[in-house]
Structures are given as structure tokens and as C-alpha cells.
Structure 1
Amino acid sequence: MIDQYADVFEGIGQLPGVCKLTLKEGAVPTVQPPKRVPFALEKRLKAELDRLEQMKIIEKVTKPTDWVNSVVIVEKANRNLRICLDPVDLNKNLKRPHYPIPTFESITQRCAGAKIFSKLDATSGFWSMMLDDESSDLTTFNTIFGRYKFKRYPFGLNSAQDDFQRKMEEAFENLNLGLIVICGADDSENDERLKAALERAREKNEGIKPDPEKTRAITEMPLPENSEQLQKLLGMLNYLSRYIPSLSSLNKSLRELERADEYKWKPAHEKAFSKIKSALCSNLAYFDPKCENIEIKVDASKHGLGAVLAVDDNVVAFGSRSMSETEQRYSQIEKELLAVVFGCKHFHQYIYGRTVTITTDHKPLESILVKPISKAPPRL
């Protein structure tokens, strides 16, 4: 397939259309002097400027320009130089388009059920976007060899990622891709989608890690300081052991501590606690938008709220938060219902428009379902 689409892999591409940089009202232009360059790098700097000019990435500037930026020169491992725009003042005065950037979580959801994956990477992606003349003038930069400006989108501008994401989505519209991550249930489906992506890349070319937020509640989980807190922890682990069987063996020393006459936290308990957190974080499943059996397990302690999202006997995500001083004065039934509200809000993206089972160990909450709403306390 690479041989068939060899032209798509050549050089730096060019996405359709041009991009425009928009200044904020009242923006005051600045002119930065050229930065000093070590004598040993001067020759290589000139060679890199000439190379970029020949590639039509930059061009010489002789006319007066209101904005003149500085550049940062980075020496790469292969001794070549990378010229990076340093638009500190320009960035402060640019209006960002704020285009939504897909999260790792949203991408993996689209890939649910896939077994074969391919990944495409745009060569110097930002350079595939052309700037209009006025925007190009804004990127003028100073060097010891004179002024240049970028004809294509330079790295360093705060609007670059937004425009790049928009351009890529426009170029690959209606293709079943997660960014340029191609996936399929088998080799045939993956190859079909990969071919569609390469065809679109050829057609549109006019030139030629689990989400930390899902595990934060676990990684930041405090040590149980007394028997009551340990009992709460073991209750939650007992629930989670339905999904992660290894938890039953990992929490053995903690169960022994719960039964002990004296609560004394030892290194063995610390080790078990760390292993439990590691097991919880490493066993998260991806959320399949087509799933049906969605469950949220909630719990309220003295000072905090916790929630677990599970689908088809697999844990998808965790959530927790501390309670305010006012919330800490709630009755226990109010705290437990607050945990239900928190869990539903925290996992709103997953459960909106779906049938969800809420699991709680606080039986008095059932009374809300059997008694008239008018009989419930106002806060409930």
C-alpha cells in the first residue's frame, strides 16, 4: 500500500485554502532585534535559512513591517539546526480560534471494538497550512542575515493547533478516523479505512497514554487513617473485585488489619495499598458508546465523595471530590444522595440519554423512591 501511495509520503503537503491570523483590537506592534548567534553556528544557520527559503517555507523580507519577532535556534542530535519562531509579544495579541481538540478518551471511544490499528503522521504538520499575505507579514523575524517571514504556519503560534485541527478535520471529513489513527475490527477493515485516508490525503494535497483524569481519584487516594476509613476502602474494593479479581488477593493484609484489635499501619499495608492503586489504574477498560449495561457505584465518606463507572463488568473510570464545610455537615443520607448527584454529573458525557444503574450501600436512600417527594427533606 505504501508503494501504491508513494506520492502521498513525499515532501511536505499542502492543505487546501489559506489561514488568517487575527490581531486583537488595540494590538501594539513590537520589533525584536536579532539574537546573537555563536560563531560556530553561523554557517549552519545560513544553510538552514537557505534550505527553508528554497522549500518556500520562508522568504526574504525587504519592505518595512510593523511586527518583527525573534527566533530560537535549536541544535538537533544530528547537528542540524531547527529555527523556531519566538512570538512572545505576537501571541499575546493574537485572537485564538479555540477549535475543539479531541481528547485521548474521545479517540479511544471511537476505536472501541477495533483490533487492528494504523497511524499516520503529518510531516511538519503546521507547515502544510499556507498563510495569507497579511498573516505572513506578522510572522516576520530577525536574524543576523536579515529579516525573513513564514509563508506557511510556523511552530510557536498559539493558534496553530486550533487551525491545524480544523484543517485536518475538513480534509478528512466523513472518514471513519480517530484523528489520523485508523482502526478496524480486522485486517480487511483496517486496510479499507487506511486506503480511504491515503486517497483523501492524495485528493486534498494541493502541493506536495489511560486518561490521567480517569485515574486521578485513585492516584490521589489518601491512606486510611483509622479503622472506619479502612472499612470504607475495603467496602469499595469488595465491589470492584467483581471487575478486577486480583484485588481479592491484594487486599488480604488490609482485611487482617481491619480485624486486628489495634489499628497500626505498617510497611506491608503500604505495599498492598500501592499495589491496589496500581491494579485499579492499569485495568481500566475503554468505553464503547454502543454498550448497554452501564453502572455507577457511588459512596460518601466523612469528607469526600467517590464514584466508579463500570460497563459490562469492566471498570471504565473513577471520580472523587472533597466536600465543602457546609456539605460535611449534611446528614449521612444527604451525603449519600449528594454522591449520586456527583457521580451522574461527573460521568455525564457517558450516561446522557442512557439507562443507568446506580449502586449505593446506603439502604435508607430507597425510601426516596417509595415515599412522596413532598415528604422528603427539602435538601433531598
Structure 2
Amino acid sequence: MCAECSGGMKIQPIKIQVQGDPVFLKRRIIPYGLREAVHKTLNDLCVKGIIEPIQSSAWGTPIVTPLKSDGKTPRICGDYRLTLNSRLLKQTCTTVEVEDILNRLHVSKVFSKVDLKDAHLQILLDESLSILTTINTPFGLFIYNFLPFGLSCSPVIFQEVMNKVVSDLEGVEVYQDDLIVHGSNKVVHDQRLIALLRRLFEENITVNPNKCSFFVSSFEYLGYLVDGNGFRPDMKRLAPLTNAPSPKNLTELCSLVGALQYYSRFIPNFSCRANCLFNILTFKWSEEQESCIRSLLKFLQSDVVL
């Protein structure tokens, strides 16, 4: 369960249904300053058995290389939007409502957050599917042995797997790679935390201790600040909204309204108050819309706790 070793959950290898013909696209050029880091990351993934090189494939997906939170290490992601995603049959999963999770946390006083390392890459793929995940890089072709980032079905599959892993554990919430353990007091919390860690060990699920936090009275979670009194918007997450300039087009407006809707439970009569924003078909910003936006943001900056 350490951070250094590659995981491999004790579940049956995942099978994904695909329809349509293979697609092979040429590799993308990696910026010179990133080439060495990308090469090293690919080698590390090979050593861990997450990917392996192959000579040829009917499938080929170019990669994107966003940097991890350390700002140095590239994350290798196949750009499956261009190849495999449109050919995947839709996966279903029990819906996880953020509000339901937050409401269950409401009665607790002690919390721990457990981060799972490399999330999807701990789920073994069925051998017959690995060839479909072929990535085309400047350093050759590689296939995934584990569920890769970038597949549209990966978050759904991961959530469903983790739901089953913790389904019988009390006081454990799961949303993708973040597990929250909570209890009304330290004794209850500690019993639940031990039960979770034991389960993760039994299922060979790897934890990243550097991103875990234990025995806290408050924590940031899914855009909220949670403590024993309830939850409220995380002001650090709101700062980009409150400091942003007025929208200049419909795309920017839709993005802003979507963010406001996420926190709409903190805005009384949100639908009525935001009505003038929903009725814009042709973008034309006015004092009415500007006043509406500032009024909605003012509600979110209050000290209301749910």
C-alpha cells in the first residue's frame, strides 16, 4: 500500500466494449524542454509494468503531457478523444451526488482524507484490450496494461470499482481518487480509518501518503470547506470568479453561470435571481446582467454554512 510500488487491484481485469474500425494517428512533437522528462516518465511506467513497448499496432493515439502538481513531472495521457473514445460503448455507474456526500459529513467532527496514487492506473485491463490503448510517442509505440488516463470511460469505471471496495464500510465516502473517513469523535473515526486501510491493503490498492491528511477538524473538498459545523464555499476556489472580468461572449458567460450553479444552494431563489442570465440568446452585456452577477457572487462571499 506504499506510494513507491505500482498497484494492481485484486479485481477481475476490466473489459471495455468497442465498436468501429481502428484508428492510427501520427505522433505529436514534444517540446524540446520536455523530451527528457517525458522519456523518463515512459521508462518509469515501463519499469512498473503499467505500459510496455510494442513494434506495431492498428491503433495509435498521440499523447498530451500536462504537468503534475509539482510543475516538473509530465503526466502521460493518450488523446483518446481523437481515436478510441468515440468508439467506446457507454459505461453506466451508480451516480454519486456531491451534495449527498456533504450531507453525510455534516454530523462528523474528525476527518481524514486518503489519496489513491495514480487512480486509474491501479486497475488491470483485460489483455485483449491493451492493443486498443496504443499510444504513439516520439520514443515508439506503447500499450497500457492498466486503465489509462484519457479514456472517457475511465472515471466511470474507477468510481464503480471503488464504490464496491468500500460499500460495506461505515463513515467512508469515495469520489474518484479521494477517500474521506469521518466520525463523530476520534474513537469512531479511528476505527473506521483502520477498517479502510485494512481493506485497501487487502485489495492491493496503493495510497499516496504525501497527499493524505489525517485526524483533521476541517478540510477542503470538491470546492468546499468542510468542518464539524457543515460546509461552505472554499474562498480560494471562489477567488477566480469574484476577481474575473465581465464575460465577453456566450462561452465565457456559460462557464461563469455553470460555476455559480455549482454553488447555487448558497444563493436563495437562485433560478429567479439568475433568470436574466439564462435568457441571453445573443450576447449583449448590460448593467442588468452585471448587477445580477455581482449580487450572486455577494451571496457566495457570505458566511452561510450548510
The two structures have a TM-score, normalised by structure 2, of: 0.67
Unaligned runs of 5+ in 2: 208-223, 225-231, 233-261, 275-290
Aligned equivalent of 1:47, options 40, 47, 69: 40
Aligned equivalent of 1:21, options 16, 21, 24: 16
Alignment correspondent of 1:66: 58
AA partner of residue 38 (structure 1): P
- Closer, same or farther: CA 51–9 of 1 in aligned 2, 3 Å: closer
Aligned equivalent of 1:97, options 83, 87, 91: 91
Q: How far apart, in 1, do the equivalents of 2:266 and 2:183 lie? A: 27
Q: How far apart, in 2, do the equivalents of 1:71 and 1:157 lie? A: 12
CA deviations on 1:63-104 (whole Å, 9 max, x unpaired) are x42221111123455433221110112101101212124121
More relative contact order in 1 or in 2 (CA 8 Å, sep 6+)? 2
Alignment correspondent of 1:230: none
Q: Give the 3-state SS of the residue equivalent to 1:50 in structure 2.
A: helix
- Report whether the alignment pairs 1:212 with 2:207: no
Aligned 8 A contact 1:8 1:201 in 2: no
Deviation at 1:219, TM superposition (A): 4.4
Q: How far apart, in 2, do the equivalents of 1:216 and 1:276 lie? A: 9
- Closer, same or farther: CA 213–138 of 1 in aligned 2, 3 Å: farther
- Closer, same or farther: CA 110–40 of 1 in aligned 2, 3 Å: closer
> Number of residues paired by the alignment?
230
- Report whether the alignment pairs 1:159 with 2:158: no
AA partner of residue 84 (structure 1): C
Q: How far apart, in 2, do the equivalents of 1:75 and 1:114 lie? A: 35
- Closer, same or farther: CA 8–73 of 1 in aligned 2, 3 Å: closer
Aligned 8 A contact 1:15 1:167 in 2: no
- If you compute each CA radius of gyration, which structure gives the higher value, 1 or 2? 1
Q: Give the 3-state SS of the residue equivalent to 2:121 in structure 1.
A: helix
- Report whether the alignment pairs 1:283 with 2:275: no
- Report whether the alignment pairs 1:87 with 2:80: yes
AA partner of residue 45 (structure 2): L
Equivalent runs, 1:165-184 vs 2, <5 Å? 165-176=159-170, 177-179=172-174, 180-184=179-183
Taking only the aligned residue pairs, the percentage that are identical comes to: 25
Unaligned runs of 5+ in 1: 1-6, 224-269, 286-380
Aligned 8 A contact 1:218 1:277 in 2: no
Q: How far apart, in 2, do the equivalents of 1:280 and 1:44 lie? A: 41
- Report whether the alignment pairs 1:119 with 2:113: yes
Alignment correspondent of 1:295: none
CA deviations on 1:92-146 (whole Å, 9 max, x unpaired) are 1101212124121111222231111111111111111011112111100111221
Deviation at 1:282, TM superposition (A): 4.7
Q: How far apart, in 1, do the equivalents of 2:301 and 2:77 lie? A: 42
CA deviations on 1:285-318 (whole Å, 9 max, x unpaired) are 3xxxxxxxxxxxxxxxxxxxxxxxxxxxxxxxxx
Alignment correspondent of 1:129: 123
Alignment correspondent of 2:215: none
Alignment correspondent of 1:194: 193
Deviation at 1:204, TM superposition (A): 0.9
Equivalent runs, 1:271-310 vs 2, <5 Å? 274=295, 278=299, 282-285=303-306
CA deviations on 1:323-376 (whole Å, 9 max, x unpaired) are xxxxxxxxxxxxxxxxxxxxxxxxxxxxxxxxxxxxxxxxxxxxxxxxxxxxxx
CA deviations on 1:193-212 (whole Å, 9 max, x unpaired) are 00100010111117893552
